[in-house]
Structure 1
Amino acid sequence: MSKKSILLDYSAIQLRERLKQTEIPAYVGDQCLDWVCQKHHLSFDKMANISKKNRALLAEMFDVHPFAKVEKVADSDDKAIKYILHLHDGPRVEMVVLKDPRYYSLCVSSQSGCPVDCKFCLTGVRGFKRQLSVAEILGQLLIAFSEGYPISRLIFMGMGEPLLNYEALIPALAMITSEKGFGIGQRKITVSTVGYLPGVKRLIKEQVYLNLAFSVGSTDPLIRRKIMPIQSRFSIAEMALVLHQYQGMHNRKLTLEYTLLKGVNESELEMKGLINLATYLDAKVNLINLNPHPEIPYQPVSSSRVYQLQGQLRKKGVSVTVRMRKGQDILAACGQLGGA
């Protein structure tokens, strides 16, 4: 494993301060970040406005990104491209480029594995490895951009619970949205959470306003506890109250993600609970039919059932969409990222 620092672990201010301790002029830090975050270069060799001497010194001090190896897997219709990123200490993390006729999105991971153990998600079933660093989060964007994908939207819905990695998530988001960073607008970024209550409370306390997506699972506490063990620690009722407070602080629409499990959470009573929750939070609903895997003990509902439920929600005035399946054949769909 390299003993060098990782360039993407530094903000613009931090990088200038670091270079002040060397013979490299501090302003070179801004030039470096421009080449990496705006021009998407993976090495110092072609940073033409930096002297050859300073490029050599930078290469001795830093690696641009933190990955030991990058593997690429495209699905059969080329609408999803999964990247398996090997970390230097052994764990792997996955990210997915999603193609839409109008834009490209990147599904970003925040942890290697996941500790919250949702029973319908392969990442959770396979357990937690470790947190990702700021550079390991930002490196996912860099790899996608360097591969030529014009990413304009980010969804933190890959491996891990983002709010459990708050200390890396928030600095990473700052660099993502900064003009000296990747320059992606805040409204183009969505962060998903299973309902880690302390994380949302910290967002409120620190006045950090995000497009949040809340993974509901079920509005029935007993069913939710069975399929999402986090319910035992932070109830959906508590989460609804805190989300209501958070939504009142800004004007960004909350999304309720609802993964449909055949015979588990698709009843009329469940839909009534989901309608009530969406109405209380003034939230839109995204229905997600389960993407099956042999290690997941549940099955999806039929396509006709998905659209039947969508119609029920719409009749009650709920804004609702159905998430299109992409990447199932390469285990890149929602809930299928397992670290390969």
Structure 2
Amino acid sequence: MIYLDYQATTPLAPEARDAMLRWLDGPDGTGFGNPHSAHRMGRMAAAAIESARDKIAALFPPGGKVIFTGGATEAINLAIRGSGNGGKVSYSAIEHSAVGDTAKAAGKSHILDVGRDGQCDANQDVPDDTRLIAVMQVNNEIGVIQPTVEWHRRAKEANALYLCDAVQAFGKMQITSADLIAVSAHKFHGPKGIGALWVRDGVELTEMQTGGGQEHELRSGTLSPALIAGFGAAAELASQHMEEDAAHVEALWSRARELFADWTLNGSAEARWHGNLNIRRDGLDVARVMSDVRDVMFSAGSACASGSGRPSHVLKAIGLSDAEAKSSIRLGFGRYTTLEEIEIAANKINAAAKEQGL
């Protein structure tokens, strides 16, 4: 099988797997300790967590702390719900549902417009009572990079906090300046089930998950040394290979663009992470293509909304019709994708489209 769905999840790095195994048991049987216990095994596990925290923190801006969560969705909930309940949450029309649904559920919200190219212009008005602005760094469906520095400045002008969903950017590029940043390990070759919220120094949050207050008195529950060690190993690996990974992705992107030259690109080609290729062919039956090409793993929109039958809210927000949105596919690739896999996959997908007379 050929895996081209890196926006949904990424293959676990061997280095991350090795780091995790030590804290699932360990060759001497001492790796399973509770990191919140005071005895030697607990202290060993706690030290592993803090070592990983340092590796992860190195990929964030200076001047903040890393709060471990069960994933980016929990991190986003902590950021939105924990930062207050007065005023509106203003968020871009192409945010992940973890932002949009949480903003609506938490109280008053306002949707920010995006252009045809998929960018959210920071010069647009925000309501006077906005308390938090949420604009992601890289969109998960179309890969468009947002003007996050401008949005952080805009939030300061509005006396609001700025939350950035950096899930698709973390480990791949420099992370933006913000007040709150949400990330997830499994999007950059770490394990599923672990993420983090970075909180700028001076930003106060209210605990949303009560119990023992184990994680900086903001998040209760026993931390997993194994998951966090895997997270840390993936972060260290990303830090060491970021330029190399980016060059590899660029080569894959260039070849994929050649192979899909007669398809229409959704979103900007320039302001974009080039590991995301979202394209369409008018009239294409995507479900039929996916059935015909079962050995290539790709997406018809985001994995979070697959199977819903609804057109992507992201593609709709950039001005596509229902028919155009439903005739779009997303190919995601990265560190472990080969050029040969791109070529084989493109030949199969193009052949399936040709079978439909397209």
Q: TM-score with structure 2 length normalisation?
A: 0.28
Greater RCO, 1 or 2 (C-alpha within 8 Å, sep 6+): 2
TM, length-normalised to structure 1: 0.29
Between Structure 1 and Structure 2, the one with more strand by share is 1
